[in-house]
A = this chain, B = another copy of it.
């Protein structure tokens, strides 16, 4: 997550040339350029298209701005049934074509060296920004709508699920080899509310993708709901670092692959600690197939790229050692 980002000096240079974050996302040549930067530096196993989870509400005309240090802001947040009624479903080609164009450029450059991951936000997560009007940590307005006008919120979430489905299908059509659904804020819900207002709509997207490519569902803070997430038909479940990956594997079994789950804060430590923590995660998962190592959240701007190199090297060498060892499943 944030494989391309402000921790890389070459990214900061591209961003400066673009002027702002949204221009970087919306200019396929620049999005391609920054998507490939981490792969030029590190022997990574996959690329991820440089974009943002708020492209859909931006295409719906909500007036997105992304201010550094402040986060996203919508000029026209969604608060009333009239607001929801006026929203249209963006066309993935005419309204969001820049993402498909970026994917096609990246695929050409990658030339099948590694797979490319596309993504979208979960309907619940995207709706939190649309309703709150930006980054909030209390979710006052969307929770008020959830408990006072659930039908209205469901109407918005259903529209977002349809829009996200056609958006991911367009990304796959353009060449994405796998797609990930980021549910950054599902973890602020009660168990029944999570199932009804977040997971239900993630499942609709996974169902629409219909196995065209592998799908990865990730709810930050969703460790308690892994069993339900594994049951929606996705190929892999993302884990944040609060979940014990060995326990997750024994709960989930071989139904789905698991992706995760190092705390990105560890990248601030010394190389020895980084290597030890990464090794612990790879070893905890064991010899069972189906582990995609990654961070449980985005890399922050203050991280030294050399520390990311230590992480990537450790994961590769440690995985090779484990996979070469006698195949005794430690379940």
A191-B143 contact, Cβ under 8 Å, with A148-B273, A224-B223, A270-B148: no
Q: Are B140 and A137 closer than 8 Å at their CB atoms?
A: no
Bound Cα distance from A22 to B132, whole angstroms: 31
Chain B residues with CB under 8 A of A139: 265
The interface-forming segment of A153-161, A205-213, A240-248, A286-294 is: A240-248
Q: Are A137 and B137 in contact (CB under 8 A)?
A: yes
- A266 located at the interface, meaning its Cβ lies under 8 Å from any Cβ of chain B in the complex: yes
- A134 interface contact, C-beta 8 A: no
Q: How far is the CB of A240 from chain B (nearest CB, A)?
A: 9
A269 at interface, CB cutoff 8 A: yes
A273 touching B224, Cβ below 8 Å = no
In contact, A147 and B265 (Cβ under 8 angstroms): yes
Interface residues in A207-250 (C-beta closer than 8 Å to B): 221, 223-224, 241-244, 247
For A193, the closest partner residue in chain B by CB is B263
A304 to B100, CA, bound (A): 48
Find the B residue at minimum CB distance from A143. B265
Q: Does A187 contact B (CB under 8 A)?
A: yes
Q: Which of A147, A189, A241, A302 has the most CB of B within 10 A?
A: A147
Residues B189 and A268 in contact, CB atoms below 8 Å apart: no
CA distance A157 to B266 in the complex (A): 20
**How far is B144's CA from A263's CA once the two chains are assembled, in angstroms?**
11
For the residues of A in contact with B, the DSSP-based class is: helix
Give the chain B neighbours of A223 by CB distance below 8 A.
223-224
B138-A300 in contact (CB<8A)? yes
Known contacts A265-B144, A269-B144, A269-B148; is A189 also within 8 Å of B224 by CB? Answer: no
Cβ-closest chain B residue relative to A243: B224
Q: Which residues of B contact A300 (CB under 8 A)?
A: 138, 140
Q: A137-B137, A221-B221, A265-B139 are in contact. Are A242 and B187 (CB under 8 A)?
A: yes
Q: Are B224 and A190 in contact (CB under 8 A)?
A: no
- When A137-B137, A140-B302, A223-B224 are in contact, do A147 and B243 touch as well, CB less than 8 Å? no
A91 contacts B by Cβ under 8 Å:
no
Q: Which residues of B contact A241 (CB under 8 A)?
A: 190
Q: Which residues of B contact A266 (CB under 8 A)?
A: 143, 147
* Complex Cα–Cα for A310 and B94 (A): 51
Identity of the chain B residue whose Cβ is nearest the Cβ of A280 in the assembled complex: B192
Q: Which 8 A-B pairs have the closest CB atoms?
A: A147-B269, A143-B265, A191-B244, A190-B241, A144-B268, A223-B224, A148-B269, A190-B263
Mind listing 21 A-B residue pairs with CB under 8 Å?
A138-B300, A139-B265, A140-B265, A140-B268, A143-B263, A143-B265, A144-B268, A144-B269, A147-B266, A147-B268, A147-B273, A148-B268, A187-B242, A188-B242, A189-B263, A191-B242, A193-B263, A221-B221, A221-B242, A223-B224, A224-B244
